[in-house]
Structure 1
Amino acid sequence: MNTNRSLPRRAALAATAVASALALAGCGSNDSTSTTGTRPLTTATPASVQDNRHNQADVTFAQEMIPHHRQAVLMSDMVAAHGASADVKALAERIRKAQVPEIETMTGWLRAWGEKVPTGMGMDGMGHGNGDRDGSGMPGMMDAQGMSRLGGARGNAFDTMFLTMMIEHHEDAIDMAETEKQQGAYGPAKDLADAIITSQTAEIAQMRQMLSAGRP
């Protein structure tokens, strides 16, 4: 009699035990998944890869701006030996300090991209650029005759010629930088273009003021 009454109770206990075991197994399975650190697959491109994307506009910007900067540095190096004023010397030194590191930076980009690095102040027949002044295919470069005239000037005449030529030089650099901002894809190159526009626009304003004051 006692045995018969206990049968339903035993069946209920057995069902409860089975349900508990299944619940524990489910928890164990979830714990195992989280322990292995399994994450859903993603197709997002890593930021480091995105940041390294560049296009032909970026390559052209670096290949043209490097020789352009080199000529500005050469013009700045001429200041000390030509009796320039203190203001012009200070300006030339600032230009040099800004553009030499930028040349190094752009050279590093071209090497990393497997692209040709220009030598000297020409494009080595690479055929980039339009509207050049020196006939080399480089935009905004001063021609040999102009550089020779600058080299032969002294004192106030040198200062006036230097400032006039450097204003034109900066204006061409700004045009090149604007093109990079519009057409480039490489973030650091677009940032450099923006910095060139900002700094050289300010220097143009300073040089025009120096010329209008008649005390370069």
Structure 2
Amino acid sequence: MIRKRSLMRRTAVVASAGAAALVLAACGGDGSGDGSAGHGGHAATASSSAPASASASASQGQHNAADVAFAKGMIPHHRQAVEMAGLAPDRARSAEVKKLAADIKKAQGPEIRTLSGWLTSWGEDVPAEGAMDHSMHDMGGMMTAEEMTGLENASGKVFDTAFTELMIKHHEGAVEMARTERTDGVHGPARKMAGEIIDSQSAEIEQMNQLLGKG
């Protein structure tokens, strides 16, 4: 009896161990199956997100005629603003006007380089230095040669007033051009720059109006 009981216990233990092994094997199979499915699922997700990323990258590289017009128009526009600002250190009396001019040069110089880089990457010509035709004088508050000469010949308070009044018109033109880019352009970085121009130059217009006592 004792031997029979011992044998039965051993058989039960072996059977239990065998059953446990089967369960573990089954679980391992399911786990590995789930892992494969899981990896497959992640792979599928990654592959499905890849086209989206590629599409986003492609979108960043896209541009249209409005983007080209924005860059080609804003480059000479910025160049003239930088030229105007360059007159301030030796001619302005107001410390506020001198600081404003320095801020304009600091902001618009790098933007000219960025705009030029876009045009080059798009296979477009970058406007030559000093290249202005009559149509540009009608574009966004651009100064005429006579106005520029008058500003060069002014000094002190007369310069401060003339510079501020002319730069307000200049900025208003830039803001208008930037709004057109925001509406019609498709190049993400160009539209972002346009938004920054609207914000920064609108703030400077308000500042200049205050300097003129119009704020």
Matched, 1:85 2:86: no
Greater per-residue helix proportion:
2
How far is the alpha carbon of 1:108 from its aligned partner?
A: 1.0
Q: Quick one: which of 107, 120, 126 aligns to 2:116?
A: 107
Matched, 1:48 2:57: yes
What residue is the counterpart of 1:206 in the other structure? 207
Deviations 1:4-50 (A, max 9, x none): xxxxxxxxxxxxxxxxxxxxxx9999988988997497565612112
In structure 2, relative to structure 1, the CA distance for the partners of 1:121 and 1:32 (3 Å cut) is same
User: Is 1:62–1:106's contact at 8 Å kept on the other side of the alignment?
Assistant: yes
What residue is the counterpart of 1:133 in the other structure? 137
Q: Secondary structure at the match of 1:119?
A: coil
Mapped partners of 1:194, 1:35: distance in 2: 43
Mapped partners of 1:177, 1:70: distance in 2: 16
Mapped partners of 2:176, 2:92: distance in 1: 31
User: Is 1:82–1:153's contact at 8 Å kept on the other side of the alignment?
Assistant: yes
In structure 2, relative to structure 1, the CA distance for the partners of 1:45 and 1:212 (3 Å cut) is same
What letter is aligned with 2:137? R
Mapped partners of 1:83, 1:63: distance in 2: 30
How far is the alpha carbon of 1:186 from its aligned partner?
A: 0.5
Deviations 1:127-184 (A, max 9, x none): 9xx6x436xxx44311100000001101000000000000000000000000000000
Matched, 1:152 2:156: no
Q: Secondary structure at the match of 1:84?
A: coil
Q: Which contiguous aligned blocks of 4+ residues in structure 1 show a shift greater than 3 angstroms?
A: 26-45
TM norm structure 1:
0.73
**What is the aligned residue count?**
181
Mapped partners of 1:30, 1:86: distance in 2: 71
Matched, 1:169 2:170: yes
Gaps of 5+ in 2: 1-28
Q: Secondary structure at the match of 1:212?
A: coil
Matched, 1:97 2:101: no
Q: Secondary structure at the match of 1:78?
A: helix
Identity over aligned pairs, percent: 47
TM norm structure 2:
0.74
In structure 2, relative to structure 1, the CA distance for the partners of 1:57 and 1:142 (3 Å cut) is same
Q: Secondary structure at the match of 1:79?
A: helix
State the superposition RMSD in angstroms: 2.7
